[in-house]
A and B are shown apart, each in its own frame.
Chain A
Amino acid sequence: MSASYDRGTIEDLGRWREFSAGMWAWLFHKVTGWILIGYLFTHIAVLSTAMSGESVYNETLGGLEGLLLVRFLEVGLLAVAVFHILNGVRLLLVDLGVGLDRQAAAFYVALVVTGLIAIASVPTFLAGVTL
């Protein structure tokens, strides 16, 4: 029997040339999920400084809030959380068989709403928190 040719993962990436809402929604949902899990551990680590005393906790939070990069990351975190929640609702509706023919539109709506909320949050986050 002749050998067959296994094209492997890399060659299969060619299929991504055509944008598919469902595929990107799946990808974004996975990525945002992992980011949120990563943030959860960071969040717990920061909060745990409270066990070392009030001043350590305040200094840690104040120090982080003083960094412009952190304030930008907070905008990103909000965007990640909002998209994950909205797409989660979209997936719930898909699971229930509701609006399956509008699942692509729902993905675009989730993207737009996420973008609007993230932009609207910029002034608040970049201003930082005064302790």
Chain B
Amino acid sequence: MSSTPSDDTETVHSDDDPAVASVRPEAGMADPSEAERVTPDLDDEETATMRVFRYDPDVPERAEPHYDEFVIPTHEGMTVLDALIYARDTYDSSLTFRHSCQQAVCGSDALFVQGAQRLACRTQLSALGDPIQIDPLPHKPVEKDLVVDMSDFYDQMEAIEPYFDPDETPADDLEEQRQSPENREKIKLSTRCIQCGACQSSCNVAAGDNEYLGPAAINKAYRFVMDEREGAERRKTRLEIVEDEHGVWRCQTQFSCTDVCPKDIPLTEHIQALKREGVKDDLKFWE
């Protein structure tokens, strides 16, 4: 057992695997100095068991990757992130994971929950079986517990130059740079990306090629290529970026990215659209 339960918990080791243990609070053992915190009597509660990936290279006894199990009292509307926070606050303060807004906007808590990339803050415990297995995002080096190294992801996002770059800007800085409603509608879904990295993590091609731009970056490129306010020259350079050796043509249309995107962005569709734009652009050899 690598996790360190707080004083008011008991540790139950599994007979099958001594490396895996369950922790649950003991009834009536709450810290009296924390009157508001009522440690539940789990015999009378609905519970869920979380099987959480653990790894800490800085602590010798935790440097070997393993799983810890946490028994969590559940309630209606409880999310995976709620459960992880409960486990961290109640059982093991060393349990490490990223989270921030808790409302599916920041994208920091994308995890591999029950065999799929999901945002922990919007995944209901009730929608999952038991035990709930929680791993870090696949295809990325693990830094500690559920925290992965996102460097490649951010490098690819940066590679497509993700900033609005129109040909002309209004003389008045306060004047809006308007686009047509139709054009806005065309790029609307692509602007939803919260850069959680779930799509890139689900992509087999990205797993085998760290330089592959990946669905999120290509989607971001789509957002600008399709924006009518950017000029022809900028569009051309953007298409050159996505048509790079590690660009759109690497996509194998597995639809994994589209399947896992928590914001329902049709990523594969956008990648295919950029392929078509690239072909059309290349066919205009007389220009």
Chain A contacts to B: CB under 8 angstroms: 2-7, 11-12, 14-15, 17-18, 20-23, 25-26, 91, 94-97, 100-101, 103-104
Instruction: Kindly identify which residue among B144, B252, B255 contacts A21, using a CB–CB cutoff of 8 Å.
Output: B255
Tally of chain B residues near chain A (CB < 8 A):
32
Contact A2 B57 (CB under 8 A): yes
Q: Please give the distance in Å from A6's CB to the nearest CB on chain B.
A: 5
Contact of A18 with B144 at beta-carbon distance under 8 Å, contacts A5-B65, A103-B255, A104-B255 already known? no
Asked whether B272 is an interface residue with its Cβ less than 8 Å from the other chain, the reply is yes
| Stretch among B15-23, B26-34, B133-141, B174-182 lining the A interface | B133-141
Please, which residues of chain A bring their CB within 8 A of the CB of B259? Answer: 20, 22
Please, which residues of chain A bring their CB within 8 A of the CB of B253? Answer: 22, 26, 91, 94-95, 103
Contact A12 B255 (CB under 8 A): no
Please, which residues of chain A bring their CB within 8 A of the CB of B190? Answer: none
Residue ID in chain A nearest B257 by CB atoms: A22
Contact of A23 with B256 at beta-carbon distance under 8 Å, contacts A2-B144, A97-B276 already known? yes
**6 further contact pairs, Cβ within 8 A, besides A7-B65, A15-B112:** A11-B138, A12-B207, A22-B255, A22-B258, A26-B252, A95-B275
Per-residue CB contact flags for chain B residues 201-217 toward chain A (1 = under 8 Å, else 0) read 01010010000000000
Please, which residues of chain B bring their CB within 8 A of the CB of A2? Answer: 57-58, 143-144
Q: Can you list 6 residue pairs at the A/B interface with Cβ under 8 Å?
A: A7-B65, A7-B142, A26-B252, A94-B272, A97-B272, A100-B269
Contact of A5 with B57 at beta-carbon distance under 8 Å, contacts A12-B139, A97-B269 already known? yes
Residue ID in chain A nearest B139 by CB atoms: A12
Contact B254 A20 (CB under 8 A): yes
- Name the 10 nearest CB pairs between A and B, nearest first: A22-B255, A4-B141, A17-B115, A5-B142, A3-B57, A22-B254, A2-B57, A18-B115, A26-B254, A12-B138
Asked whether B268 is an interface residue with its Cβ less than 8 Å from the other chain, the reply is yes
Tell me the B110-127 residues at the A interface (CB within 8 Å): 112, 115-116
Contact B138 A100 (CB under 8 A): no
Per-residue CB contact flags for chain B residues 242-277 toward chain A (1 = under 8 Å, else 0) read 000000000011111011000000101100110110
Please, which residues of chain B bring their CB within 8 A of the CB of A15? Answer: 112, 115-116, 138, 202
In the complex, A101→B255 CA distance in Å? Answer: 10
Chain B contacts to A: CB under 8 angstroms: 55, 57-58, 65, 112, 115-116, 135, 138-139, 141-144, 149, 202, 204, 207, 252-256, 258-259, 266, 268-269, 272-273, 275-276
What secondary structure prevails in chain B residues at the interface with A?
Answer: mixed
Contact A100 B57 (CB under 8 A): no
Residue ID in chain A nearest B144 by CB atoms: A2
Please, which residues of chain B bring their CB within 8 A of the CB of A12? Answer: 138-139, 207
In the complex, A95→B271 CA distance in Å? Answer: 9
Contact of A22 with B135 at beta-carbon distance under 8 Å, contacts A94-B272, A97-B269 already known? no
In the complex, A12→B10 CA distance in Å? Answer: 32
Please, which residues of chain B bring their CB within 8 A of the CB of A14? Answer: 112, 115, 135, 138
In the complex, A96→B280 CA distance in Å? Answer: 12
Q: Please give the distance in Å from B181's CB to the nearest CB on chain A.
A: 21
Instruction: Kindly identify which residue among A5, A21, A95, A104 contacts B141, using a CB–CB cutoff of 8 Å.
Output: A5
In the complex, A103→B202 CA distance in Å? Answer: 18
Contact A95 B143 (CB under 8 A): no
Q: Please give the distance in Å from B218's CB to the nearest CB on chain A.
A: 15
Contact A23 B254 (CB under 8 A): yes
Contact B268 A100 (CB under 8 A): yes
In the complex, A15→B118 CA distance in Å? Answer: 12
Q: Please give the distance in Å from B189's CB to the nearest CB on chain A.
A: 12
Contact B273 A97 (CB under 8 A): yes
Please, which residues of chain B bring their CB within 8 A of the CB of A101? Answer: 266
Contact A4 B115 (CB under 8 A): no
